[in-house]
Structure 1
């Protein structure tokens, strides 16, 4: 718990009595016929007032690579290491003198002046579900009672949920402040991966899920162009990328808008009905977000990415990676504060075997193309200065190449929480910069180790969330948002 002296004035007031403003707000609840369940939203608005740091980013696109990107084969290559460590790929020069990355990321290499790397992020888990929770929440510790098979309301809140809570008052619209797309992360067994939701903050603060990519338990990657199966089991993948399929946070009283809204005329019907309904019903800000998501024309355009013009589709790619990053770019343009983009379903980047052909042919091409197009778009309009772009996974990959012949035709690398590389761009990030260093084998940090707490704090700080910010639970107890300092040297 934070000492009262460290809380923003508006937060500390909640423990010293009710202000005139909060009394007026409480009275308005009865006048508007809303009800006590809306006090949480009012408390949230009050708590977010007060001084803020001068973070440049108005929005953030958090690109998550579920499964774990191999640092050796992407952004932290070890060409002088032994054969069983350095791998099959060769490094190439970037636009930044002395900085090299993988030969199969040529577009990003040409744009190194726009991004920076942290090569020393580290945590202690090599298990997928625990590591997802660690990186998606920014907490190295696991909560009491943590279960890898069952997300719980005792879990830590996700970065997306925290940012959505803290950034709401900065928005000039009623759109959801935080969105996750194009799918939830679901294991091949069907269990939902922990760390994606608001956890202890409560379901009313869950990020909004835009589920445009149907679940498939054996196919991964950027379908339909670059879809693949890790173990080549030959099961057909006939998925369609259709947006939007909205999964709204619980407790908003708008369950009727659940379900797939595949056609534009269906969207229009929803828009007309909701707009009419909103004229005769008093919606609080949380419910109004649900209405706005369906009624704003800018949101319609943002979600309808598969029908974008050829120029955009050719640049981003006609696949789930390209469509997802184009959707994210449009949503932040429409005013959403944070968009988490899952590039591939759960464990897409889990390259235990067949690693080198899958990275070379299926994963790097659509990622290199779509991420480069996103950076170009934001840079050309000047929005990159106000949009933080981050790329990370739940962990890195092991130094030694291994071969699980029972499951894979070719070798790969195992899980490795001890070090991974993270890419940052925009939002005041200094381009062409490298923070931290791994050892000669790419196994452990050798300089400036960075924890998930520092990673989360960097996102919060860049977005202007004050270091003293807190969220409040149902008993009105404050919980400090920051658990570490921002990564030094990035900005």
Structure 2
């Protein structure tokens, strides 16, 4: 009998990937990664990819005005908004978030986080680390780490896309940097005029393939004399670029005109340049 947090399965063919990972985390039987992957394959469990959207609010509302209103605190400490109940007993949030309150059972509030330094930039939120005493190359952003470890679901779609808006002080809205992982894992930024670069503009696929072969021959020559590791990053960028150009998937995904007016209205008009 296998018992993991209340879920019982007599045999491993009913165990999900998440439960396998829990076994490894608990150290039951010293299950290592090779055994985990082998057990997954035998059980027919496939790798699952999830799309994660990280919303970072640079200089956004403080916690006592959104999720931790402290109504019993003195007037000079608590905010001006009133708390409302959510669909989870004991959890209250700001009165201006009624839709969020209705789906609170699908959210997790973490009220114990402490910043590693008192800066307003996005660095520690994107990396989980201080920007001081960094290793050579710097700390990579979360998206770059995922891009390195998981890779893309489809070669034509980058695993890490940065949609941060343009601001006067970009440290507040930076999508993150790849750090010591290298430029191959930097965020893809399809902002403004950059979208036009994803269109072939009359170049046939055969001609594009010829250009790719020529570029590869130059890269092989340069790699022989390059010891910085930059070429390996450029190789990955080249493959990604050709994948983007020969597939319409990413361009279609970025075309908000394909969304229904109802969905677009929920997000607001915004700025078409961002």
| TM-score bracket for this pair, using the shorter chain length | 0.5 to 0.7
1:210 corresponds, among 176, 190, 194, to: 190
Q: Distance in 2 between matches of 1:192 and 1:94?
A: 31
Deviations 1:121-159 (A, max 9, x none): 112322223xx22121122x4342x6xxxxx96321111
1:142 matches 2:134: no
Specify the SS of the correspondent of 2:262. helix
1:124 matches 2:54: no
2:241 corresponds, among 282, 290, 297, to: 290
Specify the SS of the correspondent of 2:269. coil
Deviations 1:26-70 (A, max 9, x none): xxxxxxxxxxxxxxxxxxxxxxx9999998652211111122441
2:256 corresponds, among 305, 321, 326, to: 305
1:158 matches 2:144: no
1:73 corresponds, among 43, 58, 65, to: 65
Q: Distance in 2 between matches of 1:134 and 1:274?
A: 44
- The change in CA–CA distance for 1:192 and 1:120 in structure 2 (over 3 A counts) is closer
Structure with higher Rg: it is 2
2:205 corresponds, among 269, 275, 281, to: 275
TM-score under structure 2 length normalisation: 0.65
The residue number in structure 2 matching 1:327 is: none
Residues 136, 159 of structure 1: 8 Å contact kept: yes
Q: Distance in 1 between matches of 2:89 and 2:66?
A: 17
Q: Which has the higher contact order (CA 8 A, sep 6+)?
A: 1
Q: Distance in 2 between matches of 1:95 and 1:192?
A: 33
TM-score under structure 1 length normalisation: 0.38
Q: Distance in 1 between matches of 2:39 and 2:179?
A: 27
Q: CA deviation at 1:203?
A: 2.2
Residues 79, 91 of structure 1: 8 Å contact kept: yes
Correspondence list, 1:196-207, <5 A: 196-207=176-187
Q: CA deviation at 1:113?
A: 2.4
Gaps of 5+ in 1: 1-6, 10-48, 147-151, 213-244, 247-259, 325-343, 345-491
Residues 85, 101 of structure 2: 8 Å contact kept: yes
Specify the SS of the correspondent of 1:82. coil
1:84 corresponds, among 51, 70, 76, to: 76
The residue number in structure 2 matching 1:174 is: 156
Q: Distance in 2 between matches of 1:89 and 1:303?
A: 37
Q: Distance in 2 between matches of 1:315 and 1:134?
A: 30
Q: Distance in 1 between matches of 2:124 and 2:88?
A: 32
Residues 67, 93 of structure 2: 8 Å contact kept: yes
Deviations 1:369-399 (A, max 9, x none): xxxxxxxxxxxxxxxxxxxxxxxxxxxxxxx
- The change in CA–CA distance for 1:124 and 1:279 in structure 2 (over 3 A counts) is closer
Correspondence list, 1:425-436, <5 A: none
Q: Distance in 2 between matches of 1:309 and 1:95?
A: 29
- The change in CA–CA distance for 1:286 and 1:194 in structure 2 (over 3 A counts) is closer
Deviations 1:278-332 (A, max 9, x none): 4333476542322333443232222121563312212332225xx89xxxxxxxx
Gaps of 5+ in 2: 1-31, 217-234
1:133 corresponds, among 87, 103, 123, to: 123
The residue number in structure 2 matching 1:316 is: 267
Residues 156, 249 of structure 2: 8 Å contact kept: no
Q: Between Structure 1 and Structure 2, which shows a larger proportion of helix residues?
A: 2
Q: Distance in 1 between matches of 2:208 and 2:93?
A: 52
Q: Distance in 2 between matches of 1:319 and 1:64?
A: 16
1:59 corresponds, among 33, 40, 51, to: 51
Q: Distance in 1 between matches of 2:46 and 2:199?
A: 40
Q: Distance in 1 between matches of 2:128 and 2:254?
A: 28
Residues 143, 154 of structure 1: 8 Å contact kept: no
Correspondence list, 1:405-416, <5 A: none
Q: CA deviation at 1:107?
A: 1.3
- The change in CA–CA distance for 1:143 and 1:71 in structure 2 (over 3 A counts) is same
Specify the SS of the correspondent of 1:92. strand
Q: Distance in 2 between matches of 1:166 and 1:90?
A: 43
